[in-house]
Amino acid sequence: MGKHSEYKDWEDKELASSLNRFPERKERFNNHGGEEIARLAVPDQIDEEYIEKIGFPGRFPYTRGVQPTMYRGRLWTMRQYAGFSTASESNLRYRYLLDQGTTGLSIAFDLPTQIGYDSDHPMAEGEVGKVGVAIDSLADMELLFDQIPLDKVSTSMTINAPAAVLLAMYVAVAEKQGVESSKLKGTIQNDILKEYVARGTYIFPPKPSLRLITDIFRWCTDHSPAFNTISISGYHIREAGSTAVQEVAFTLANGITYVQAALDAGLELDNFARRLSFFFNASSDLLEEVAKFRAARRLWARIMKGRFNAMKPASLMLRFHTQTAGYTLTAQQIDNNIVRVALQALSAVLGGTQSLHTNSRDEALSLPTEDSVRTALRTQQVIAHESGVASSVDPLAGSYFIEELTDRIEAEASELIAKIDKAGGVVAAIEEGFIQRQIENSAYEYQQEIEKGERIVVGVNEFKIDEESKPPLLRVDPEVENSQIHGLKELREKRNNKNVEEALANLSACARNTSNLMPEILAAVKTYATLGEICQVLRNEFGEYRG
């Protein structure tokens, strides 16, 4: 088979159909000098091995990307994670970001919200509004999206254990805006498995947690088919200290677990598989990161095909969001972080990400200021519009180094997944502590290398300077907690408590049988039952996980 037949086949099928539906951003992509930049560079001789391992963008095994034209068609979504203090303050920040050219919202919730506590819960003391916005009830959610048309934006919510509740609130707000749930676009993180090993905001034990997740899958298939029902996250696994290979392996192993759980719950593979999305970390080793993204994409396609017999292209594609690595930011010489973030962001773009969050330079110290958030966004815009890397698809393909590394990462990750299979799957491996131990060991080694000076961190263990003045920091006003508690008290007086009790009783009954929890949760949030009240009902029924 010569270059032409296979290449032509791709041009005629995937490429033609893509160009047909989504024309590229420009007629021609030129360099300075007017020469045209190739859409896709390929070797002169296309052989079997090339087709099997590298192939063409938008075609199995998707090593080169999930769309035939990638960023020539549409740039990645520039999505900046934000949210702090109260719903109305966050609302202002979102509207500012939308004005500045952000194309998707990304909501950060405070820890009490993430763990299903209302702001007046004793465990919430001191944490309200600290790392994100506090949401106690539908009333807060209404403020959060005030004047933001939910049929126009795509919203990503970093919420896991109580994802069903926040999704229900989002649907309810949309309804009030007159937007049908079928029009909603966005993502809920909804990935509980990595919480047990890396992030810690779990509530319930694994089994009921997986039920909540598959209930959401099913509900969204019927009511909100454009919503990404899960964002299977390696990001936090990497932040917790894993290697690149472990990030891929544990994330895809979690993905396998969700797919299996959904199949066991009787869902149709091709109905939910296309709504699975992924979330990776872009760390500092630029070439390894590029290879990692490519390897993850290929391995997932092979898993979906080989293990689950998925047929439709949409079920085989690994689409992912990326965030630059928070753990690499330093509190010393914080402007250096801008450079780190730029390199990391570049790796994500060279690796074919679908959306990207760039960290702000001051995030190692506190919540980012508005200025630093803007610089972080500008970094993406420079890569998109000035660097030229968005003009050609998967430009590093065929580099001996990149391809070899891609192969190695895929092979090693497969091996690790096989080990997890042998241990009885992810849940058993978590319960036995296998995954946590692996991450811990890697984290320990990495940090020891820094401590011993074997790994240089610029400005930290080398190239140090005396720094006096620290930049202005953004702090959450402690008053936020009081005002949130006050609002909660008012709400409990104002709402119809009989309706609330009824809805909660229904939810509790539903938790005891096997019917879908989503309709009951939706009914409960509409009565202004609080997040804490709803989660307490589920805590009573499901029990709590203890790490």
By CB under 8 A, name the binding residues for another protein. Answer: 111-112, 114-115, 117, 122-127, 130-131, 195, 199-201, 205, 239-241, 327, 330-332, 364-367, 423-424, 428, 431-433, 440, 443-444, 447, 451, 460-461, 470, 473, 475-476, 543, 546-547
Closer residue to another protein in complex, CB, 411/418: 418
Closer residue to another protein in complex, CB, 199/361: 199
Of 229, 215, 261, residue with least CA distance to 518? 215
Closer residue to another protein in complex, CB, 226/473: 473
Closer residue to another protein in complex, CB, 60/327: 327
Shortest reach from residue 34's CB to another protein, in Å:
49
- For the chain, how many residues are written? 547
Closer residue to another protein in complex, CB, 267/460: 460
Shortest reach from residue 459's CB to another protein, in Å:
9
Shortest reach from residue 331's CB to another protein, in Å:
4
Q: Cα-Cα-Cα-Cα dihedral of 246, 250, 251, 255, to 10°?
A: 150
Q: Rounded to whole angstroms, how far apart are CA atoms 331 and 366? A: 10
Q: Rounded to whole angstroms, how far apart are CA atoms 247 and 293? A: 10
Expressed in percent and rounded to 5, the helix, strand and coil fractions of the chain are: 55, 10, 35
Closer residue to another protein in complex, CB, 17/447: 447
Shortest reach from residue 473's CB to another protein, in Å:
6
Shortest reach from residue 208's CB to another protein, in Å:
11
Shortest reach from residue 109's CB to another protein, in Å:
11
Q: Which two tokens stand for residue 155?
A: 């919203």
Which whole-number Å values give the CA distances from 293 to 228, 269, 321, 395, in the listed order? 20, 24, 11, 14
Closer residue to another protein in complex, CB, 151/467: 467
Q: Nearest-5° angle of CA 460, CA 376, CA 79?
A: 125
Shortest reach from residue 267's CB to another protein, in Å:
22
Residue with tokens 């020891």: 448
Task: Report the amino acid identity of residue 130.
Answer: K
Backbone angles phi, psi at 69, to 5 degrees: -110, -5
Closer residue to another protein in complex, CB, 37/331: 331
Question: What strands, in cross-sheet order, belong to the sheet with 104-107?
Answer: 227-228, 185-188, 154-157, 104-107, 77-82, 355-357, 320-324, 276-282, 230-233
Of 192, 110, 164, residue with least CA distance to 518? 164
Shortest reach from residue 327's CB to another protein, in Å:
7
